[in-house]
Structure formats: C-alpha cells, structure tokens
Amino acid sequence: MAAKPVIVTRPAREAAQWAHEFRAAGLDAAVLPLIAIEPAIEAEPLRAAWKRLADYAALMFVSATAVEHFFMHAEKGQRAAGPRFWATGPGTARALLRAGVPQGAIDAPPSDAARFDSEALWERVKGQVGQGVRVLIVRGGDAAGRPSGRDWLANEIDAAQGLRDTVVAYRRLPPSFDDAARALALDGAAGRAVWLFSSSEAIANLCDAMPGTNWHAASAVATHARIGEAARAAGFGSVRVCSPLREALVASIESFA
C-alpha cells in the first residue's frame, strides 16, 4: 500500500524545502504552513546587539530563521567573530555556515543525535557558562514583538550564574487560511494524510484556525516528545514521535500506510 501524503506545517520557506526532500524520497508532500514569519517590529535592538557582539561569550540561536533575521542587521563588512555560536540543530548550524560563521565557532548537537532541542544543546555548551559569562539568546517573538517560546535554556544559564540577554529577531504569527488550506486540513483531519509537526505552537494555531474540528481520525508525526504530547492533547488519534532526521521521518510517515 502506498504511503499517505504528508502535510508539512513548518513556516513557508522551511516547509518548501522539507517537502522537496520528501518528494525526492518518494513521498507525496503538501505544504500547509501553520506559523507565519514576519520581521521584528523594531530593528534597533538587533543593530545594537551587533554593536555589542564583543560583550558576549556566546550567541544562542533558536532556529535557522533566527540566524537569517539576525544577520540581516550586521553592518556592511562586519564579521561574526569572537563569540561562540550555539545552534539547536543541523538546520540552524547550516544557516550559521551560510552566514559566514566558521565551522569551528559553532556548537550544536551532533548530526546523528536522538533529538535536537535546547536540552541536547545545553549538554554540549554548559561548560562554557559560569559566573558573569554573558550569552545573547536570539529568538522569535509574538505579534507584538514580545519574546515567545520556551525559557528552559535561559533558566539553565541563570542557574549556572551566567548573564543572558534576549533579542527578538522575527515574529511568529498565526497563519491565514484560504479555502485550499482548509480543504487540505480537512483531509488531514479525516486521516487521508499524515501531519508532520515540529512545533507545539503550530498545533495550537491549527486548532484555532479550524475550531470544532474532530481530530480523532488524524495521524501525526512529531519531532519531539513534547510536541507529540501537544498533538495527543489536541485530540489527534494516532501520534508517533521520531528524530527530525529525514530518513527517520520518511520511515515513520510510511508506517501509517
């Protein structure tokens, strides 16, 4: 039996790349971004962070999107030299390399890690943080530009007596659903396609966009146990958690055939 189509829910540009890779692996893939990415409301904090780069022992990036939006505000000719650059996963590490950061300055979980998240990153970098060591966390914000997302790693820095600043590089907004998006979402709700979730926020946005939808017949693959729990709490009938590496995702999606 052929595998069901996969619905890729990452923000638009990332979703397109993931869909391309799934199609190359022989899967039918559709894109339904559940998080819209917009620039930060205020650019001055980003420009100020670049001027203070020498103050930081490390810069922590929550995603490839954070890298791209942060580096947009570098002064012409300014090089990212001095601090360590922390990446939560291989996609973020690749974005840092594209931005000109030397490989040797990047800290990230190994490419074959069982998971890519703040916990896995912290295991690699916690030895860099001690009393008075300053870290800049580059992250996304909500529609009003307030920092949004988990504070787990920030709390670990505090516990290690480090100092940390935060800058919002971009905003994460709910999606706008047209008729085609709703039809695709209903296919997923009916179990005719497999959802791929790499964010609990995406699941919340989907439920807000489709109020009253019954998800009991829906199947989903989640890239983290925490995201899997959010899908089950939303009512998804069949949820599997696996590594975000392509081979593992393809195998998990195909298992729903």
List, for residues 95-104, the tens digit of each pLDDT value. Answer: 999 999 999 9
Per-residue pLDDT of 4-28, as tens digits, reads 999 999 999 889 999 999 999 999 9
| CA pair distance 28, 30, nearest whole angstrom | 7
- Report the pLDDT value the prediction gives residue 197, as an integer from 0 to 100: 97
One-letter amino acid identity for 71? Answer: F
- Report the pLDDT value the prediction gives residue 62, as an integer from 0 to 100: 93
Q: What own/partner pairs with CB < 8 Å and gap ≥ 24 does 43-51 have? A: 43/73, 45/167, 45/168, 46/70, 46/72, 46/73, 46/167, 46/169, 47/73, 47/75, 49/73, 49/136, 49/138, 49/165, 49/167, 50/74, 50/75, 50/78
Residues of the chain with pLDDT > 90: what percent? 83
Q: Is the pLDDT of residue 244 over 90?
A: no
Average pLDDT over residues 161-182: 95
User: What ranges do the domains of the chain cover?
Assistant: 6-35+175-255, 38-173
Q: Is the pLDDT of residue 1 over 70?
A: no
Q: Is the pLDDT of residue 2 over 90?
A: no
| CA pair distance 108, 111, nearest whole angstrom | 8
Per-residue pLDDT of 186-241, as tens digits, reads 999 999 999 999 999 999 999 999 999 999 999 999 999 999 999 999 999 999 99
CATH class belonging to 38-173: alpha beta
Average pLDDT over residues 116-144: 94
Asked if 141 and 201 count as a contact pair (C-beta separation under 8 A), the reply is no
Q: Is the pLDDT of residue 41 over 90?
A: yes
φ/ψ (deg, to 5) at 54: -70, -15
**Residue from 65, 49, 99, 30 nearest 172 by CA:** 65
Beta strand 6-8 with 36-39: parallel, antiparallel or unpaired? unpaired
CATH (one of 3.40.50.10090, 2.30.42.10, 3.40.50.880, 3.40.309.10) for 6-35+175-255: 3.40.50.10090
Altogether, the residues listed in the chain come to a count of 257
Asked if 7 and 19 count as a contact pair (C-beta separation under 8 A), the reply is no
- Report the pLDDT value the prediction gives residue 32, as an integer from 0 to 100: 97
- Report the pLDDT value the prediction gives residue 116, as an integer from 0 to 100: 77
How is residue 73 written in tokens? 């505000």
One-letter amino acid identity for 117? Answer: D
**Residue from 63, 60, 68, 110 nearest 85 by CA:** 60
For tokens 């146990």, name the residue.
225
Average pLDDT over residues 34-57: 94
Give the residues across from 219 on adjacent strands: 194, 238
Would 6-35+175-255 and 38-173 be classified into the same CATH topology? yes
Asked if 55 and 134 count as a contact pair (C-beta separation under 8 A), the reply is yes
- Report the pLDDT value the prediction gives residue 117, as an integer from 0 to 100: 84
How is residue 134 written in tokens? 């300053």
- Report the pLDDT value the prediction gives residue 25, as an integer from 0 to 100: 93
